[in-house]
């Protein structure tokens, strides 16, 4: 159906203003993204995920004392209840990690000390947000290890979020550069205005449900390959190409036959995804440091062809895919990593929504039949 059939209708709600926020802004013309007014490149290069999460939740960068207190709270809240670990052990092994993650977050609110707090209690919601952010990487790694016949590794109180994720995944503490790359990816994935999962989260909490319900909605929405699952599909695409000498032929064949090429283009950016610029640089540097430039070389070829032939730049999912692969992270965990980061943005939006709540209830256009007569079952 053409959008012009109904002047006020926009397919996919493209261009429709659904709310007002102070959390983040995308400027398409300049390919810039800011969190609370701060350029995301500054945060990724100079900041930490913990500082970014505090910024999103509290509205300002933390002082040294505030950051120390916030880090202490995150450390104290990282562990998950043993009963949730037991439930993770009962889940089918064929279950995707995103489904295990969703199941765990569906159970967590009953264990939260603020479980009975009013949904609009700002202070309680901030405390819940801190617990939600703290537990994400613990759940992801515990579920993964359990489903692969391994015991979960307890979080290390001396490690920050990025390093702790890698440590709890494989039992090895990362070097400084590896931690920095992981940390930067979490910062870049942490928030992105009214994307599909964030909007789903806001719709959920707007009913005066609770933040945990919003997180579950966000996870379910993010699972789709047109949103969070794109980084997984991008890496599978790169593996299918296999080597730099095949990249041009593969890409041109895909363009000729109108195959989906994952990791390129973005509705909100016309001149390149702001987040991809920095992550592309460090992803290719990982390859150089590890002596494996295969994926960076394939990326160079694909990026050149896609820009020349289609005017499309890579989005953040493209460099994230091969960055994570070079860090030996299983492909099925790429989207759960997205969740670890995005809990900060989702929580910030849930709090903002509940601070000045109005039920989100759009209208629609009906095109079905009218005046259909009732027919008794015997005559149908």
Concerning whether 114 is annotated as a catalytic residue, the answer is no
pLDDT tens per residue across span 184-226: 999 999 999 999 999 999 999 999 999 999 999 999 999 988 7
Catalytic residue chosen out of the listed positions 41, 210, 317, 349: 317
Name the percent of the chain lying above pLDDT 70. 99
Question: Which of the four pLDDT bands, split at 50, 70 and 90, describes residue 270?
Answer: confident
Pairing, β 32-35 against β 38-39: antiparallel
Catalytic residue chosen out of the listed positions 266, 273, 328, 355: 266
Does domain 32-180+191-223+340-355 fall into CATH 3.20.20.20? Answer: no
pLDDT tens per residue across span 108-167: 999 999 999 999 999 999 999 999 999 999 999 999 999 999 999 999 999 999 999 999
CA distances from 206 to 25, 319, 359 (A): 21, 34, 5
Question: Do the beta carbons of residue 49 and residue 162 sit within 8 Å?
Answer: yes
Give the pLDDT of residue 272.
Answer: 80
Contacts 24+ apart (CB under 8 A), 113-120: 119/205, 119/208, 119/209, 119/210, 119/354, 120/208, 120/354, 120/355, 120/357
Rounded to two decimals, the pTM is 0.94
- Asked, colleague to colleague, whether 32-180+191-223+340-355 and 230-326 share their fold, the answer is no
Place of tokens 């931690």: 179
In CATH terms, the superfamily for domain 230-326 is Cytochrome P450-Terp, domain 2 (1.10.230.10)
pLDDT tens per residue across span 308-338: 999 999 999 999 999 999 999 999 999 999 9
How far is Cα of residue 39 from the mean position of the Cα atoms in its chain? 18
Q: Where are the domains of the chain?
A: 32-180+191-223+340-355, 230-326
pLDDT tens per residue across span 2-12: 456 888 888 88
Q: Look at residues 200, 186, 197 and name the one whose alpha carbon lies nearest to residue 223.
A: 197
Concerning whether 122 is annotated as a catalytic residue, the answer is no
């Amino acid at each position: 159906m053409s959008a012009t059939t109904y002047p006020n209708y926009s397919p996919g709600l493209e261009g429709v203003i659904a709310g007002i926020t102070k959390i983040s802004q995308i400027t398409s013309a300049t390919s810039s993204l800011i969190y609370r007014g701060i350029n995301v490149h500054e945060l990724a290069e100079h900041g930490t995920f913990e500082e970014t999460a505090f910024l999103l939740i509290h509205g300002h960068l933390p002082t040294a004392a505030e950051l120390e207190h916030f880090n202490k709270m995150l450390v104290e809240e990282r562990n998950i209840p043993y009963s949730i670990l037991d439930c993770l052990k009962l889940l089918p092994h064929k279950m995707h990690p995103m489904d295990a993650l969703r199941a765990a977050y569906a159970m967590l609110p009953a264990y939260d000390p603020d479980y009975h707090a009013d949904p609009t209690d700002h202070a309680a919601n901030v405390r819940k947000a801190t617990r939600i952010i703290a537990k994400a990487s613990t759940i992801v790694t515990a579920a993964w290890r359990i489903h692969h016949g391994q015991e979960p590794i307890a979080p290390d109180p001396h490690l920050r979020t990025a390093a702790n994720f890698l440590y709890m995944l494989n039992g090895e503490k990362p070097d400084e550069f590896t931690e920095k790359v992981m940390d930067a990816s979490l910062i870049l994935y942490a928030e992105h205005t009214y994307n599909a999962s964030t909007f789903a989260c806001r719709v959920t909490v707007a009913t005066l449900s609770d933040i945990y319900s919003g997180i579950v909605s966000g996870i379910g929405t993010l699972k789709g390959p047109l949103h969070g699952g794109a980084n997984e599909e991008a890496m599978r695409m790169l593996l299918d190409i296999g080597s730099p000498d095949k990249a041009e032929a593969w890409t041109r064949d895909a363009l000729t036959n109108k195959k989906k090429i994952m990791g390129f283009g973005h509705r909100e950016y016309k001149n390149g995804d702001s987040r991809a610029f920095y992550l592309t640089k460090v992803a290719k540097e990982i390859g150089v440091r590890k002596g494996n430039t295969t994926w960076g070389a394939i990326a160079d070829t694909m990026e050149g062809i896609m820009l020349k032939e289609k005017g499309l730049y890579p989005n953040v999912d493209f460099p994230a895919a091969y960055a994570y692969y070079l860090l030996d992270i299983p492909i099925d965990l790429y989207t759960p990593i997205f969740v670890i980061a995005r809990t900060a943005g989702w929580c910030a939006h849930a709090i903002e929504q509940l601070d000045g709540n109005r039920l989100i209830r759009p209208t629609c256009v009906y095109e079905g039949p009218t005046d259909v007569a009732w027919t008794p079952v015997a005559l149908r």
